[in-house]
Each structure stands twice: as C-alpha cells, then as structure tokens.
Structure 1
Amino acid sequence: MKDSKTVLLIVDRLDKGGLAHVLLTLACGLLARGHRVGLALLENSVAYPLPEAAWLRINEAERPSRRWRHAAFRREVTGFARQAISDFETEHGKADLIIAAGELAIRCVPPIHHPRIVFSSHSSQLQAAKMSGLIGQLRLGFKRLRRGWRLQRLLNGRHVHVVSDGLAKELTGSLKVRPASVHVIYNPFDIDAIREAARQSTPESLKRLRPFVIGIGLLTKNKHFSRLLEAFAASGVDGDLVLVGQGGDEEALWQLARAKGLDGRFEIVPFHHNHYALLAKASLLVVTSDSEGLSNVLCESLIVGVPALSTDCPHGPRDILGGIDERALVPLDRIDLLPERIHSLLDKPYDITDAMVERFSVDKVIDQYLALIDMLDE
C-alpha cells in the first residue's frame, strides 16, 4: 500500500448523535495522518465544525414530509452519492476506500456498484420488542422478516462494517444477510483530547458540589431513563441524579422525579459543548437503553475513569463492559437488579485499566479501517 490513502466518507448527516461524532473523529484522525479525506452528506444537517482540510459535498435536497415522496427522494440521494463519488475521484484520484455510513446511506448507496464501497451500520435493525408478551414477539418477528428481506436485497454480496460483535450476529444470524465480508471495528475516540476536556471546568461541572450518578443521551423512550430514575430512587444512595440530554420524555421524567421524592436531587442538563467535564466528576454512569449500537457514552465513561453500568441490551454494551466486572451488566429481564447494582458500584467501584480503553483509541481504529483497503485489494 502507498502511504497516503484516499478515503471518502458518505454519511447521512452530521447533526446531534453518535454517528456524526464517530465520522468526524475518523475524518480528523485520517487527515492528521496525511490521508486525503472527503465528506459527502446525504442531508443538509450539520451541527459540528467540519474539518477544513476535507473535501466536502452536501446534498441540498430536503427530505419530504409526505410519505409518497420518499421513494423519489431516495433516488435523488442515490444520484447525489454517485455524482459525489465521481467528483471526488476527479479531484483526488481513485478512492482507496469509500465508507457509506448510516441508515439512509445503506438504503440509497447500494445501487452504486463501486468496488471500494464498505457499508457501515452503527445501530440495531431490530432493537427490543416494543410490547411485552405474545403480541410484542409477533410484531418483532414480522419486523425481523421485513427488515431481513430489505437488508438481504441491499447488502448480500457487499462488504459490511459494524461497530460491535452483537450487530454482526444480528445481521448474519437474525436477519440472514449474506455479505461478501463483515468487519467489526469499534468507534474511534481521541483519548487524549477527551481526557484534556474532562480536566477543564465548565459552568455545568462547577455546579456539582455533591456526589452524583449520571445518565447521558436523548430523552426518548428507547433510552428508558425512567428506569434509571426509578432505580436510583430505590437504591437508597446519597447524592444526586443528573441527566444530560433533551427530548420528548423530559417533562415525564420531571414528573416521575417529583413522584419518587427526588426534589432537589434530580436535574436535567441540556446537551452542551463539553459534557466530559461533567461526566468526569460523576461517581457512576448508567445506561438503561433497550438497544445500543455500541454506546459512545460507555466508552467515554471508561476513558475519563468513571465506572459504567448498563443494561445488557442489544448490542454494544457487552462488547464494552463484558468481562470487566459481573456487576456492570444487567439483563433486560432483570431490571429489578438495577438499584442493588447502583448501590454496589458506588460502594465498591471496579478498577479501569488502560487495556479497557486503548481498544477504542483513534489510531488503533484507523489502522483497522485502513486494513480494509488491503482486504479490498485481495
């Protein structure tokens, strides 16, 4: 392989969320190592500064609100992606690697049969059953058949990347997709930059004068922060509970906090520029989701030296916390264990070693992405 590679990242959008952070970290890491990088955004939604050295194209077409227009919109996105690849290669030469990341990319880029494309999935296609009992399982089974058929049509015979072993098993097992190859590569984290940010003081971190447990993420049903709130109240521990995020469940969570007698001990802090400073002051991070692709916040928690506790949900938490401490994962059918686990991990937190976090370092992850080029050359 020549030293400098040409990499194009085709991504749905770069707004709030884990995928945007992952792709920008990857882009900046590749640029820092002297590679040529392009970004092609399938939707015009950007919430982060973009690297100035990266080649850039943004699709200006708006996603339609009417469902009957979605098929036409996806065709427009396919055309944009095809033109972006052509323009990028005209300026920088043939691409060594093209990563198509995100749900829209996975639906719209497969008609483009470029030999260097790897499709990148960062989230579960099935998640957990949304209803309990037989009806919930029947609906999940129907979803498995429908999603499986669609993904088989899109990804059979193509090269695929996923961010956890659990997602790989879901794709090839439950969904019966038969890719040409499947590669598990964790999300990249700039460990030194995160730790430096964690050492800073922010208005949000300076307010925390008492010990606290923290949860970070969108305040939506899938994240189930109500579980964390109920478990914290039942644990009997001292200190506060702080949630970092925003979303449609915010008012319901405030009402639940009042009902559980947590007045003065519960706070919701909106997403802000540097949540690492606040996370680093916490005694414990807790994730209570029904589904995670990998869970960036679990990785970030270990990086800044804060023990993490999570539901053992599909699919990423086990990749991160499995084998660290038996108390760190709670089965979804044993949510009743959460209060005791919170109490236990606050009383006797587990040790966090360098080996636990180095596997997520940006350099290690970039090496794995670049290794895909050798695979495509074979």
Structure 2
Amino acid sequence: MNTARPKRIFFVINSLEGGGAERVFSTLIEHLSRRLSARIELVLLDRYPEKYAIPADVPRHQLDCGQRFGTSIRELVKLVRREKPDLLFSFLTRSNCAAVIAGTIARCPVVISERVHTTSHFGSGLGATVNKLIVRALYPRADRVVAASHGVADDLAANYAVPREKLAVIYNPMRHDDILARAAEPPPIPLPAETWLAIGRLKPNKNFPMLIEAFARSGVAGDLVILGEGPDREALTRLAAEHGVAARVHLPGHVENPYACLAAAAAYVSCSNAEGFPNALVEALIIGKPVAVTDCDSGPAEVLRGRTAPKVRHATEVEYGILVPTNDAGEMAAALRLLAQQDRRTHYAGLAARRARDFDLEQTLAAYQDLIEGAL
C-alpha cells in the first residue's frame, strides 16, 4: 500500500487586503486547488483584513510580519524549515524575495510570479536602487519566474539577470462569465448620463492628475468618474477645482461591483505610468467598452496591439483601442476627443469582446498547472 504523503505547495503572498494581484492570486488558489495533484496551503506574511475569499478547505499559515522585509524572511524561513513543503509559489516582490531565500536555505523549489514592470514600478532614487539590486540578486535563483506580460519578462531578462529559460509569460486569469454577469447588474452608485470611467488606487503610479488635466482640456461632454481609494484623494479633489471641473469629476471611492459601472460608462480611460498586466483594461474589453490608455510599461500595448512595439508619440489608434504617451495630458485630451466621436466609439466597442477572448481563464489555468506540476 502506498503510504507516501501528498505533496504540498505553499502559496505565499503579503496579504489579501486588496488589489489586482491579490485577486489573481485568490482566483488561482480557488481553481488550482481542484486541479493540482499536490495540496495547496496558503501563507500570508502580514495580518490584515482579507478582501478576497479563499476556499475553506485550503489550510493556511498566518504570519505577522508587519510589512517588514527582514521579518518576512525570518518568519518564512522558520515556517518552511518546520513544515517542509515540496514547493513555494509566491506573488509580489517582498514575498518573492523571501520565498527565494527560504527556498534556498531549506532546499525547496521556488516559483515566483512578478506582477509589475519592475524597473518602472520602483522608479529612481536610493531606495529604488537598493530594491532593484535585491531583485537582481534573488530572482535569478528561483527555479521558474512567471511574468504577467512579455514586457515584464523582457525587463526581468534585460535588467535583472533572470535567464530566459526560467521565464514563463502567463496572462492573468479573466473570469469572463462572472464579469459579464456582474456587468448586467444595476450600477452600485448613481452615474452621470455620459461617464468616462477610470479605475484604480488613488496613488501616484496611476497618474490621475494627468487624467483630470486631460479631461479638463479635452472639451468633451460628460463627467469623469474615478473608482478607487487611496492617499491622493485630497490632492485630486483640489486639482479638479483648479482646472474648473470640480462639479464634473467624481471620486466615489471603492465600489463592490465596478463591472456594472463599466457597463454603464461611455468609455474606459487610464493614465498609468506602469502596469504589469492591466486587469481593468481587459475587463473593459470583456464588457465591450472602447478604451484610451497610456502606452506605459508594459501591458497595455500587448493588450491593444496584440504584441510589444515601439512606444507611441501621439494619441494613436491601434488595433483594439487608443494608446497615448505617458505623462502627456494634451495627447490624452486628443484621445478623449477621438472617443467622443460616435463612429470611433462604435468601432472599438465592436472589436473589444473579440480581443478579450484571447485572455481565457481555462488557458491561463492550464499554463499555471503545467508549470507548477513541472516544478514539483
């Protein structure tokens, strides 16, 4: 009789407090826990309220690292040494770095998943330089590295010494049926008749100041609604007043069903400075919305062109939407004026769902399953 214990995989992340990466992580656990031959166990480095549900039958290990890098390494090493899992699978930079160190010490295979364009995400300055050096020292030691887009993979190979043979590009899992079902519900908040919709944390990387300036300069009809919460709320409110559009710019905060808001909107817009894989952009396409977004590193061009390409210098109509240079409010204003034309809006709305079919949940799950099973 075979009495060997089932193999165990520790899925490691900072927390499930909120965010696109955390949502993807929880989706993977939900589906892969029923598909993998090994047992998934959840490891949370930090103790925070959880926004995303994990199946009740998934064992969990709750640490209390308080967002501290050194504590995360120490506590994860202790846990891995004690529990002896067969594989570590991690999301987000701090978890990734801690997992690589813990796996190296405990001689446990490690698969890490990078969700952002690392160089753009860290930016510049002394702290950014230190973080980049840490990533460069640790990421190449992982057994496999999953990148959320080809642009993310190119950055890791070119700037962080990750061997190409270790890299795998797997797009985020998009739950089309769930998104469309929720999009059919009534919006959770009142929306203006003509809504330009943006979604994201109110923080510098999303560059909502550029969007507010572009909206004010565009002369288009309707209102700008930005769904999300964050530290830049007061500054954005002041900026809208300075540009004379305070009555037409709305910051309702986080909403439980952004898909219904997307369905009611005229178009989706984004001015991000960096993206790993732009979840909200693909969700807008699934719902059939025309889009105008910045051509930032690294996901938007892949989504709207179907490939990586040189950066645009002006508001540019591409295969599935409009790309705009980063940090250029004038060109975003031009893009808004293009989408104010009904024929352009109809054209891109008709193409949106066709492109969205390329981001299939089953395809993503199969890719993750093959990669993880191969690393065990």
TM-score range, shorter chain: 0.7 to 0.9
DSSP 3-state at the match of 1:352: helix
| 1:242 corresponds to 2:225 | yes
2:171 is aligned with 1:186: yes
Q: Match for residue 309 of structure 2?
A: none
SS at match of 2:90: strand
SS state at 2:297 partner: coil
Counterparts of 1:125-140 in structure 2 under 5 Å? Answer: 125-127=118-120, 139=124
Identity of aligned residues (%): 28
Q: Is 1:28 aligned to residue 30 of structure 2?
A: yes
Give the direction of change, closer, same or farther, for the CA distance of 1:256–1:353 in structure 2 (3 Å limit). closer
**2:186 aligns to what?**
201
- In the TM superposition, residue 62 of structure 1 has moved relative to its aligned partner by 3.3
- Gaps in structure 2 of 5+ consecutive residues: 1-5, 307-317
TM-score after normalising by structure 2:
0.84
Distance 1:162 1:235, change over 3 A: same
- The 3-state SS of whatever aligns with 2:89 is strand
Question: Following TM superposition, by how much is the alpha carbon of 1:335 offset from its aligned partner in structure 2, in angstroms?
Answer: 4.2
2:76 equivalent in structure 1: 77
Q: Does 1:214 align with 2:216?
A: no
Q: Number of paired residues?
A: 349
Instruction: Quickly say closer, same or farther: Cα 1:128–1:13, change in 2 above 3 A.
Output: closer
Structure 1 residues 154-169: aligned runs within 5 Å? 154-158=138-142, 159-169=144-154
Q: Report the 3-state secondary structure (helix = DSSP H, G, I; strand = E; otherwise coil) of the residue aligned with 2:185.
A: coil
The question of whether the paired residues in 2 share the 8 Å contact of 1:287 and 1:310 is answered with yes
Choose 39-48 or 276-285, whichever is displaced more: 39-48
For residue 103 of structure 1, what is the aligned residue in structure 2? 93
CA–CA distance in structure 1, aligned partners of residues 36 and 154 of structure 2? 34
Deviation of 1:148 after TM superposition, in Å, equals 4.6
CA shift digits 1:197-255 (9 cap, x unpaired)? 11111431xx1241110111111111110111111111111111101011121111111
Residue in 1 that maps onto 2:236: 253
Q: Contact 2:188 / 2:256 at 8 angstroms: preserved in 1?
A: no
> Which whole-Å CA distance do the structure 2 matches of 1:143 and 1:358 have between them?
40
Relative to structure 2, which stretch is displaced further, 224-233 or 313-322?
313-322
Residue in 2 that maps onto 1:134? none
Matched, 1:40 2:24: no
The DSSP-based 3-state class of the residue aligned with 1:118 is: strand
What letter corresponds to residue 101 of structure 1 in structure 2? F
1:298 to 253, 269, 281: 281
* Structure 1 residues 245 and 221: CA distance shift in structure 2, 3 A: same
Tell me, in whole angstroms, the C-alpha distance in 2 between the residues paired with 1:144 and 1:174: 14
What displacement does 1:81 show? Answer: 4.3
Which of 15, 21, 42 pairs up with 1:13?
A: 15
3-state SS of 1:53 partner: coil
Question: Taking structure 1 as the reference length, what is the TM-score of the superposition?
Answer: 0.84
Q: CA deviation at 1:145?
A: 6.1
Alpha-carbon RMSD across the aligned residues, in angstroms, is 2.6
* SS of corresponding position for 1:309: strand
Q: Which residue is 2:324 aligned to?
A: 330
SS class of match (2:217)? helix
Residue 57 of structure 1 is matched in structure 2 by 61
| Aligned amino acid, residue 133 of structure 2 | W
